[in-house]
Every structure is written in C-alpha cells, then in structure tokens.
C-alpha cells in the first residue's frame, strides 16, 4: 500500500462510507503515484469515480492513455473568454467529461456585462449568468456555480426552459480569447509559486499530532 493511499484513508475515509468522486487537484509532483493510489481506493470500493483537475490537454491525454483507469472528469477553467476548444475535442475523443471550475470566469474581464451575452439574454428574458450556464450545458460541460445568495441559486437552476440557437452559440464562441483569466499551470513561475505554497504549509503543519502507521 502506498504512503499516499495510507494518508488519504486516515484523513478522509473514516468520515465517508464511499466518496462519489475524488479529483487529483494539480498536475505536479508525483501525480502518477497519487493517481495510482486513487486507483487502489477505486478497486477497494472506497470511491465511485476518479477525476483530475487543472490538467491541460497534453497531460489529460497522457493520463487517459497511460493509467489503468481513465479519468472520468477533468475540472478546468472554462468560461466564455477561455473556452478550452481543443481540450473539449480531446475530452470527447477519450470519453472524459469536462467540468468548469469558473463557469462565469468569476466576473473577470466583464463576463456579466458583456454586450453579446446581454443581447442574447434579452431575447430569452434571461440574465447573463443564465445565458452562460446554458451555453456550458449545451456544450456538454458540467457546471457547479457557487453562490451564497438564495435568489441567485434559484436563478442558476432556472436554465432548463430554453435553448440557445446555433446563431447564439456561434456568437458566444466568437468571444473566446483562448487565454486564462487567472493563471497558467504551464507557467514555470506559477509552478514555483505552488512549490513555495506547499513548502510553507509543510512548515506550518505540526506532523507530530498525526497518527502514523507506515
């Protein structure tokens, strides 16, 4: 049994009968070792599905091709200004579902105020947020919008009573800049930032309080 598997079981499994899905959150460090630990948990019936997160298209294909269990999902930055068209093409090819962790781009670059989105919304009597959610759904993208406001939660659910036309979908497709509104996991400076963050967390974490049996 791997160390990664032992740690995961000690921290999470006692609180769960079975997890529906566990995502490998970053494509760094011993990503293969961590993924194979998840495969062991899958084999043992502890998790129903394995996914990855923030894996760019090359790493997604790599993991689909060279692991025993193909990732069920890849959770990445997807919104109207970063549409991940090539990612979607290869995800469909390998039977991997994409999930948007920023379906609205967190409002950056004016996603909620975009004129094209507003014009489409006025045709259907829908808000910009509802148009963007419907656009994701019609592309086959999993969306889990986050809000702490009841009225916005209700608004986010109210997207199944209309369909965007092909013309609308084309207009939204034209907004793609194919660039991140946040950061790139292929940027070496960003990788160094993640390394620094992990090292700082290790320093602050008191491992003496943990139960160890490996």
Give the model's pLDDT for residue 139. 97
Q: Are the CB atoms for 136 and 103 separated by under 8 Å?
A: yes
What is the mean predicted confidence (pLDDT) over 15-21?
75
pLDDT value of position 187:
79
Helices (H), ranges, 46-185: 57-66, 85-94, 115-124, 128-139, 150-157, 166-173
Higher-pLDDT residue of 163, 1 = 163
Confidence class of residue 6 from pLDDT cuts 50, 70 and 90?
low
Average pLDDT of the residues of the chain: 88
Q: Give the count of alpha carbons within 13 A of 159, CB side only.
A: 23
The pLDDT confidence band at residue 112, using thresholds 50, 70 and 90, is very high
- pLDDT above 80 (res 5): no
Reported pTM:
0.82
Helix (H, G, I), strand (E, B) or coil at 79: strand
Q: Kindly list the domain boundaries of the chain, sorted by start residue.
A: 1-76, 105-194
Band of pLDDT at residue 12, cut at 50, 70 and 90: low
Spell 114-140 as b/e; 16+ CB within 10 A means b: beebeebbeebebbbbbbbbbbbbebe
pLDDT by residue (tens digit) across 44-79? Answer: 999 999 999 999 999 999 999 999 999 999 999 999
- Residue 157 pLDDT more than 70? yes
pLDDT for res 154:
92
**Cα 151 to Cα 85: distance, rounded to the nearest angstrom:** 32
What tens digit of pLDDT does each residue of 177-214 get?
998 888 777 778 888 888 888 888 878 765 455 544 43
């Amino acid at each position: 049994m791997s160390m990664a598997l032992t740690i995961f079981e000690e921290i999470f499994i006692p609180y769960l009968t079975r997890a529906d899905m566990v995502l490998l959150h970053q494509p760094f460090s011993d990503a293969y070792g961590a993924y194979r630990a998840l495969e062991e948990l899958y084999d043992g019936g502890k998790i129903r599905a394995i996914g990855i997160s923030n894996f760019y298209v090359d790493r997604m294909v790599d993991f689909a091709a060279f692991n025993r269990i193909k990732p069920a999902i890849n959770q990445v930055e997807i919104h109207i200004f970063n549409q991940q068209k090539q990612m979607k093409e290869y995800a469909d090819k390998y039977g991997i579902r994409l999930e948007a962790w920023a379906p609205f781009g967190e409002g950056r670059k004016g996603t909620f105020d975009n004129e094209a989105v507003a014009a489409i919304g006025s045709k259907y009597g829908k808000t910009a947020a509802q148009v963007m959610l419907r656009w994701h759904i019609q592309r086959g993208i999993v969306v889990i919008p986050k809000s702490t406001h009841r009225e916005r939660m209700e608004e986010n659910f109210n997207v199944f009573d209309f369909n965007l036309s092909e013309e609308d979908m084309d207009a939204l497709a034209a907004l793609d800049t194919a660039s991140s509104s946040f950061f790139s996991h292929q940027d070496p400076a960003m990788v160094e930032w993640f390394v620094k963050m992990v090292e700082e967390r290790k320093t602050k974490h008191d491992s003496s309080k943990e139960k160890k049996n490996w």
